[in-house]
Structure 1
Amino acid sequence: MTSPSLIFGSILLAFSPAFALLVVIVSHKPQLVILAVCSAFAYLLSALCSSLFWLITSAIFGSDHGGGGIGALLALALPGVFCQMAARCSFVGGYFRVESVIRRSVARHEEERQVAMAAASSSSDGDGDGDDRLAESHAETDALQLQLNDLSCSIASGCGYALLHSLFLYGTLLASESGEVNSYDGGHYVGGGGSTGHGGTLYQSSCGGIPSLINGALIACMFAILDVMWMMLCFFGMRRRSSGRHSAAHPGRESSAGTMRALARALSCRGLDDASSSSGDGGGGAAILLVAITHLAASLVLAPNGREDGCKISLPCLGVVVLWVGIVLGRTMKGGKFLPDDQRRRIQGMRHIS
């Protein structure tokens, strides 16, 4: 049977990025927990849609039609990337709509409270208690809205998305390797466990020197990291596109040109910058395109796993994609462009108060 230490180590390797974020950042705030759960459901819907698409196409063209070629690879990768991109963007757009409703409700509550405070202070003796209560009201409102900033919400959403993605990507292999199954050899029961059916550790020709548990854990770990960064870039892109539509006077050709310039900067690992687009949403469109391109690249670099010792190519290439996305995201955040202006001002105001 597979060694318990190998199983435990592979579990830590596969799920540690998402689980660490869940414990350190998400679990302390109920709003972030709700976002993590909703984003996990968004991934579930995307997986369902891509599976249905594959079932339909395989039923039409035959399950073994082009099974080992580039056509089958693209037939698997393109619908999966499209469905996940649609799920991410729909989830983020839905969050922004809910956020706007919450902010309007908070602003309305603050106005009503200010009127009540002003009436109470005008009827008081002018000892300053009314001003203190008004300042406390502003602090409470800012503290409530501070939890709804794009940085924490994107990390929480990416955490939930990554956790369920890792579970789907790795859970089946983990369960088959760690669970006991019946095995029959020539009609005689021989017991055993693991996916080999004989209690051993599974090795595959695609990665002959490494147990399949470790190979799968490395892939799940890197995709979990990518899922968090992709969700953060989706928040950045959707926010910039939303603000650009409201502020742009002449969208269209200038916006497309700005998007292409910003995308070229991102693809060359120079970060995303709104300033290259006069319409204001170039960096947003480039961020969404970058997520789609790098997601497709991460899917395609796993193709060598279908060949002998293909993991020697696929794992380093997947690591390069992780570094690529990480550098772009890091340089975007380093430039102070990730959070919108109103959220940056709110955070700076809370720091001055504290």
Structure 2
Amino acid sequence: MTLISFFGNALTAYGPALAVFLLYVARNAQLVILLMTSAFFWLLSILFSSVFWYLIKPLQNVPVGTIFVAVTLQELFRFLFFKLMSKAEKGLNIIAKTPNSPLNRPANAFVTGLGFGIMSGLTLYLSQLAESAGPAILACNSCPGMDVFFVGALTTCLFIFLHSVWNMVAFDGWYRGQWLPFGFVMISHYAASYGTLLTPSSIEYGCAIALLIDFVILIVCTTLAVRPILVS
């Protein structure tokens, strides 16, 4: 039974992102390189977060502070990656399959955000996924009818695609010289991350509320991400 749970959680967490990678990203070597590069940038953000966590002792016992530092550094590295992308954009367009397509920017933003999300999902959930293959399941405090591993799988899946649309929204704003979209991305990232604290809490249906928060943010950010494409 736990083996079935393991594969079910794995496909729930990573299946949709894997499908997008195989059906879209893997067909284009340039997009694969962009995805891998952005994934490395996310790893750098977590490396610096770990350094802060290790050096600032009070953070080690305060999840709220740890989340604040981690999210802030992730968004900082999102901006740094955008600066790198903007420097390389001319060369990327030259070797693109459609050099003059107006969809190049949103496509690159989506793929690099997917790289952020996939690496985030692998780093934060993989160890928990491995535990789900153990001899038993672990009931969720806030939702006794669900186990922690499945809630984590759903959360991981949502965050992978949240990073994708966050990238699209932030990049579109930066390309237009506007910081308001990035401000919204940062606030929504804080909201989604802090919402995960409801899952292990004693609040009734806390995990459902946390997932609902993430899902609503995903819908809103997706609407903001595709709107410039539809307008153009």
Equivalent AA in structure 1 for residue 111 of structure 2? A
Deviation per CA, 1:5-45, whole angstroms, max 9, x where unpaired? Answer: 22212111111232122111111111111000001001100
Among candidates 223, 229, 244, match of residue 159 of structure 2? 223
The 8 Å contact of residues 206 and 307 in structure 1, kept in 2 or not, is answered as yes
Q: Structure 1 99/296 Cα, relative in aligned 2: closer, same or farther at 3 Å? A: same
The 8 Å contact of residues 18 and 160 in structure 1, kept in 2 or not, is answered as no
Superposed displacement of residue 146, structure 1: 4.7
User: Match for residue 333 of structure 1?
Assistant: 229
User: Match for residue 81 of structure 1?
Assistant: 71
User: Match for residue 315 of structure 1?
Assistant: 211
User: Match for residue 181 of structure 2?
Assistant: 287
Among candidates 55, 79, 95, match of residue 85 of structure 2? 95
Among candidates 187, 194, 202, match of residue 138 of structure 2? 202
Rg larger for: 1
Deviation per CA, 1:226-249, whole angstroms, max 9, x where unpaired? Answer: 0110111122122112xxxxxxxx
Among candidates 296, 300, 308, match of residue 194 of structure 2? 300
Runs (5+) with no aligned partner, structure 2: none
CA distance in 1, matches of 2:197, 2:119: 23
CA distance in 2, matches of 1:227, 1:33: 17
The 8 Å contact of residues 17 and 224 in structure 1, kept in 2 or not, is answered as no
| TM-score, scaled to structure 1 | 0.60
Runs (5+) with no aligned partner, structure 1: 107-140, 179-193, 242-283, 337-354
Among candidates 152, 156, 162, match of residue 117 of structure 2? 162
Deviation per CA, 1:237-287, whole angstroms, max 9, x where unpaired? Answer: 22112xxxxxxxxxxxxxxxxxxxxxxxxxxxxxxxxxxxxxxxxxx3122
1:189-268 to structure 2, matched below 5 A, reads 194=134, 199-241=135-177
Superposed displacement of residue 88, structure 1: 0.9
The 8 Å contact of residues 192 and 210 in structure 2, kept in 1 or not, is answered as no
Indicate whether 1:324 and 2:220 are aligned.
yes
CA distance in 2, matches of 1:217, 1:101: 38
Q: Secondary structure at the match of 2:136?
A: coil
Deviation per CA, 1:68-99, whole angstroms, max 9, x where unpaired? Answer: xxxx41x1222111111111111121011122
Number of residues of Structure 1 aligned to a counterpart in Structure 2: 229
The 8 Å contact of residues 233 and 329 in structure 1, kept in 2 or not, is answered as yes
User: Match for residue 13 of structure 1?
Assistant: 12
Superposed displacement of residue 142, structure 1: 8.0
User: Match for residue 45 of structure 2?
Assistant: 46
| TM-score, scaled to structure 2 | 0.89
User: Match for residue 99 of structure 2?
Assistant: 145
CA distance in 1, matches of 2:92, 2:197: 45
CA distance in 1, matches of 2:140, 2:195: 18
Query: What CA RMSD, in Å, does the superposition of the two structures yield over aligned residues?
Result: 2.2
Equivalent AA in structure 1 for residue 150 of structure 2? I
Q: Which has the higher helix share?
A: 2
Higher relative contact order (CA 8 A, sep 6+): 2
